[in-house]
Structure 1
């Protein structure tokens, strides 16, 4: 895949720039099976509560919501704490998440999460990248309705990739990386990462990665 020329430094934003992150909820909620579970779980719990405590189904449903909502709230808070907001600074060539700061050159891995919505004929693409044991970031390259990033945001993400050291992981049993596509599904090289950032493939395009 060919690289596109980088924008001049004068065109890049100065200082710390916040990267809009793509959380797990967007992909989770639009997955058909998960959507069905989200709808059925409160109903089943409500029916169970109603039978167990001999109350109306409506009270059972309210009790089930009271049990389910805190669970999702805890999951959301854990995700926010585990993966804090990412920021980038092109003046200092650094990526920051929470209190951890690393040079952009320390970004060594990238993974593409892909979900095809066959009924809507759209493809959701989420790019995740970061340093080993350090800050990480996630960007939604193509949303649930097929929308892509604004040009200015694309330039920022592409420049991060250009200044990174992203490479597909290797193992001692596969030193040439011939089977990396199968050993590390979703992993990308720096050139391939830049390509999907600049040209996010649609559902009509060949899958850019092997999904486990």
Structure 2
């Protein structure tokens, strides 16, 4: 008789992420590309506003309109606006990192958070483009919070390594649906705490981020 332990492992279910060997040390979860958010039509629109603003200032100051000077000022103003917006965005939602060896999570250069201390997860969505949808999962521990972009404006999701590391990190957390004194069993938690998800739903969202039109977790 054959040894059951020698039996081949079952094939992964359709749609499941391919197995990935979990790396050691700090691993970047996704990559925050500011240009993917702000460059494009947004740049052209901002430049047009800056150029019109220069023209308006010239008229107020009764200065002869010069195309070369107006163009130079508009480019400088546009670059400055993008720099300021990028700094603000990076300060509010810095690049997240996970270290499974030590069981810690950090955002940018902030103090690392033990995974076991993370007890809340909130899913937020925002419509973009033609029927698209951005998905952001925010996890919190006391006063700290870290955000993960599960599906961005270009409909891109996390790479396989980031997906595997983040899913494993979430499994080691204490994430649960919040409760209140008026609903100690959490029966109405989805109504009292909209957007919150439990640990299983958080892991499922990371491994299979719903596309636009797909159902979201029941708790959401």
Considering the TM-score relative to the shorter chain, is it more than 0.5? yes
Q: TM-score, normalised by structure 2?
A: 0.69
**Alignment equivalent of 1:146, drawn from 127, 151, 155:** 155
1:166 aligns with 2:175: yes
Using a 3 Å threshold, how does the CA distance of structure 1 residues 146 and 76 change in structure 2: closer, same or farther? closer
Match of 1:206 in 2: 215
Match of 2:103 in 1: 93
Using a 3 Å threshold, how does the CA distance of structure 1 residues 40 and 179 change in structure 2: closer, same or farther? farther
SS at match of 1:166: coil
5+ residue gaps, structure 2, are: 1-15
SS at match of 1:100: coil
Distance in 2 (CA, whole Å) between partners of 1:210 and 1:60 is: 53
SS at match of 2:137: strand
Q: Deviations over 1:139-169 (max 9, x none)?
A: 3322333332232221111111111112334
Match of 2:23 in 1: 13
Using a 3 Å threshold, how does the CA distance of structure 1 residues 205 and 139 change in structure 2: closer, same or farther? same
Distance in 2 (CA, whole Å) between partners of 1:183 and 1:173 is: 10
Using a 3 Å threshold, how does the CA distance of structure 1 residues 21 and 171 change in structure 2: closer, same or farther? farther
For structure 1, which segment, 156-165 or 34-43, has the greater mean C-alpha deviation from structure 2 after superposition? Answer: 34-43
1:129 aligns with 2:103: no
Using a 3 Å threshold, how does the CA distance of structure 1 residues 146 and 87 change in structure 2: closer, same or farther? closer
Q: Deviations over 1:94-135 (max 9, x none)?
A: 12342512211111222323233352x43332323232223x
For structure 1, which segment, 18-27 or 188-197, has the greater mean C-alpha deviation from structure 2 after superposition? Answer: 18-27
Q: TM-score, normalised by structure 1?
A: 0.71
Aligned residues: 201
5+ residue gaps, structure 1, are: none
